[in-house]
Each structure stands twice: as structure tokens, then as C-alpha cells.
Structure 1
Amino acid sequence: MPKAFFIDTSRCTACRGCQIACKEWHGNKAVPTRQRGTHQNPPDLTPFNYKLVRFAEHVIDGRVQWLFFPDQCRHCINPPCKDVADSYLEGAVVQDEATGAVIYTDKTKELSIDQARDVRDACPYNIPRRDEDTGLVRKCDMCIDRVQAGMKPACVHTCCTGTMNFGERDAMLDLAHKTLAKVKEKNPKAQLLDEDDINVIYLVTEPRKLYHEYAERREQKGGPMTRQAFLAMLARPVGRMRG
């Protein structure tokens, strides 16, 4: 059975325990940061930060409010990034049948810079990042090694507020809808994001665009490739194609 995350942002305190646990479990190196007038650090996802708690500050109903969004790969049910990667190099991006996890393999380092950019551009949530030193394209892997060993992903294991949840997809959808019903009693603006397309289901309490530019699935312009756009990409110079 496919697995899924349920991320209830109404419970998130931005402790960033999930962000740190992810980095520690994968053994990713530290990324230099600096104060930019926000508690969000680093400023964006990197090849060494698969998880990033995003901070957004808004005046809502006359009050200053912080909105927190633990950003990560959504592990799409039908990942467009895999379709594009397969057009260049089969096996660079694979999808685990048992869990639904979308995994970027060591073969991604064989993709050219332009090919890696195409893979990233195909992502509806702007997630993959290329390591300029090794050429590897990297992102959240659902802690597939932990999951296969019967453990929860590191980010879920370390979450102390109940924001992060993980389990069978059907169970997570049930939990998401029950939680949404409770949250909507106090905040009718609450909603689930893109639940039919992804295996990382977010509950948000404000309009999705207030959280992050890519909180919602991109469609058409700048979003997942249409058939016409995909065929146009395949028509580019042969140097960008495999073989």
C-alpha cells in the first residue's frame, strides 16, 4: 500500500526539528547562512536541505500572523519529473512501488546541467536541486531506508507537536479529513492542498498563496508540462538528449 504524509500546519510552531532531523539522518553537510531579516534559514531548499520550514508574515484580520510551511518533495502519485528524467536516462528517477516514494538515484549525476534543469522545471512544486560539485540531483527520499525497516521518516519521528504524520495513504487521508473538519469549526478558511495528486497532504488555515509561491500545484503556465511542451522539449538540440 502507498504511504503518505499528513502535515497539519495549524499545529506547527516552526521549531525546525523536522528540518534538522532530515539533515542529520541523511548526513548532509551544513549550508552557510546569514541573517536576512527572517527566521527562515537557509533561504531556500538546497541539495543538502531536503526539508525547509518556510516563514511567511502577513497582516490577517488586523493582526500580524506568522504562517509556517514545512516544505519538501510531495512524492507525486504520477511524478512529472520522472517522465522527463526517463526521456533522458532511465533509472535516474524511480518510484518505489510499495511506498510510492519518488527516488532520485546516483544516475542523476549523468544528466547534463540542462537536462537536470528540465527535470526541476517539470516539478509542480519546484523541489529538486542539483549539487554543482557532484552533479547529483537531490531531494527528500521519504527516508525510504527507515520506512522499509518499519520506522517513520526522521522528520515525523522528531515532530513533537503532531504536525507531521505518516502512514498508509488511506489512513492519512482519513486523518486529514477528520482534522480538517475540526479545524474548520474555528477557521472556515482551512483546506487540504492537492490531496488527489500527491502523497504529502498539507492542511493550511489561510489561502495557500500566503504560505509560499509553490505551496499549490503549478498548472499550465510554469507548471507540469503539457504534452505540447514536452514534445517541444524533446525537439531541442540532440546534445541535450540521451545517447
Structure 2
Amino acid sequence: MSKAIFIDTTRCTACRGCQLACKEWYELPANKTRQTGSHQNPPDLNPNNFKLVRFHEHMIDDRVVWYFFPDQCRHCVNPPCVDIANMIVDGALVHDEETGAVLTTEKSSLLSAEDFQAVRDACPYDIPRRDEQTGQVKKCVMCFDRIKAGMQPACVKVCPTGTMNFGEREEMLKLARTRLEKVRKEHPRAMLADPDDVNVIFLLADDPERYHEYSVAQAEPVSRKRLFASLRRPVRAMTENS
């Protein structure tokens, strides 16, 4: 059975410990940013930030309410990014069935910018990013190296509030559903975000759009124009070499 991460946003204080732990473990360089009017920093996921605590504030009943969302790859049970990437470059992305982790490889650098956009379009959570210097696809890999060594993902290990939880998928689903029952007593609209489809399960206490545009899967189909433009090149190359 695969592993899973359960993220209980009702316990998140936006300390950003998870974000920093991820950056430190992978020795990712700093981003040069500017103040954009939000405590969120950097403004979006990028090749140097696989994890990002998103900040959204809303005025509800004449008071400001903060919604914190520790965004990262959801490690889909059936990851469309892997399917699309490997149709273009075999082995560019890998789905490890034992852990459930969706992994990037050095072969992802063989994807052109247009190819990568097709891969990103396929992701219902808009997660993968491309390192423009190396061409490699960059994103959370569920701390695959730590898991294989019997350790927790760095973000889970450092979390001080119980927001981040890690274990066997069935155990995390049970924990998520138990916690959901308790949260719904105070927040009737509370929900689990796509629990049947992902290995990173979020508990949301309110409507998903209050947290992030991609807090739940977006149903828009992959851009066929981009996808088939990417696929035509390897198909044409095979034809010319036959």
C-alpha cells in the first residue's frame, strides 16, 4: 500500500517551517523577490520552492479571516503528468507504486518548453515547474530519499502543530476522516480535497476557493493544441528515421 500525507489546514499557523525544511533538505537557492502586499513569499511555486504556504485573507462578518494552504504536489493516484511526459520522453517522470510518489528524473530536461507546458497543463493542481537553466522539471517528490531510509518527509518532521501527517495511505485516510467529523461540528462546510485521487490529502474547513484556485482538482482538459504539438515531433522523427 502506498504512503500518504494528510494536511490538516485547521491546524496550520503559517509558520512556514514546512516550506523552509523542504528548501533546506534539497539545498535550494534563495529567490530574489519583492513585497507584493501579502505575507506569502515567494509569490508562487518555482524551481527553488517545491512547497509554498499560501496566504489568503477574506473579510467575513466584518472581520478578517486568514486561510493558510501549504501547497505542494499531490502525488496523484493516477498521475496525468506522468502519462503525458512519458508519451513525449519515456522516463521523464516516474510513478513509484510502492510509495505513491511522483518523481522527476534527469530525462525531464529532454522536454522542450512546449513539451513541459503540455505536462503542466495535464496537472489538475498546476504544480510542476521548469528550471530554465537546466530544463529539468522540478517539484515535490515526497522526500522519496528520506522515506526509503525510514524517515518522514522533511515538511512533516518539522511541523510543530500536527498540520502535517505521514504514514500508510489507509492510516492517513482514516485519520483524515476522523478529523473531518470533529471539524464539521464547528465548520459544516469542511471537506477533504479529492481524497480518492491523491496521496496528499487536504482537510479544508471552508469552501475550497477561499484557500487557493487549485486547492481541489480543476476539471479543465489538457490543452490539445499544446499536447499534440508536442507529440508530433517525436512521431515525425520516428517516421523520418524508419
For the criterion TM > 0.5, the same-fold answer is yes
Q: 1:74-93 residue pairs with structure 2 within 5 A?
A: 74-93=74-93
Matched, 1:239 2:233: yes
Q: What pairs with 1:154-165 in structure 2 (closer than 5 Å)? A: 154-165=154-165
Q: Distance in 1 between matches of 2:72 and 2:103?
A: 13
> SS where residue 73 of structure 1 aligns?
coil
8 Å contact from structure 1 (residues 112, 240) kept in 2: no
Total equivalences in the alignment: 237
Distance (Å, rounded) in 2 between the aligned partners of 1:235 and 1:132? 20
Aligned positions of 1:57-96 closer than 5 A: 57-96=57-96
Instruction: Give the aligned residue type for 2:131.
Output: D
RMSD value over aligned CA atoms? 1.7
Q: Percent of counterpart pairs with the same letter?
A: 57
1:188 match: 188
Which residue is 2:97 aligned to? 97
CA distance in 2, matches of 1:79, 1:35: 34
| TM-score normalised by length of structure 1 | 0.93
CA offset at residue 206 of structure 1? 1.0
The reply on whether 1:134 has 2:134 as its aligned counterpart is yes
Greater than 2 Å deviation, 4+ residue runs? 229-243
Q: What are the within-5 Å matches in structure 2 for residues 201-220 of structure 1?
A: 201-219=201-219
Deviations 1:201-222 (A, max 9, x none): 0001110011111111011x3x
Q: Distance in 2 between matches of 1:61 and 1:182?
A: 23
Match of 1:56 in 2: 56
Q: 2:3 maps to what in 1?
A: 3
> Is contact 1:115-1:240 (8 Å) kept?
no
Query: Alpha carbons of 1:236 and 1:45: their partners in 2 closer, same or farther (altered >3 Å)?
Result: closer
| 1:80 Cα deviation from its structure 2 partner | 0.4
* 1:55 partner amino acid: F
Alignment of 1:37 onto 2:31: no
Query: What is the alpha-carbon distance in structure 2 between the residues aligned to residue 210 and residue 186 of structure 1?
Result: 17
- 2:77 touches 2:199 (CA, 8 Å); kept in 1? yes
CA distance in 2, matches of 1:106, 1:157: 27
Equivalent-residue separation in structure 2 for 1:171 and 1:6 (angstroms): 10
**TM-score, length basis structure 2:** 0.94
Q: Aligned runs of 1:110-189 on 2, under 5 Å?
A: 110-189=110-189
Partners of 1:197 and 1:237 in 2: CA distance? 26
What is the distance in 1 between the residues matched to 2:186 and 2:200? 24
2:88–2:230: 8 Å Cα contact kept in structure 1? Answer: no
CA shift at 1:233, angstroms? Answer: 3.0
Distance 1:106 1:232 in 2: 22
Question: CA shift at 1:238, angstroms?
Answer: 3.1
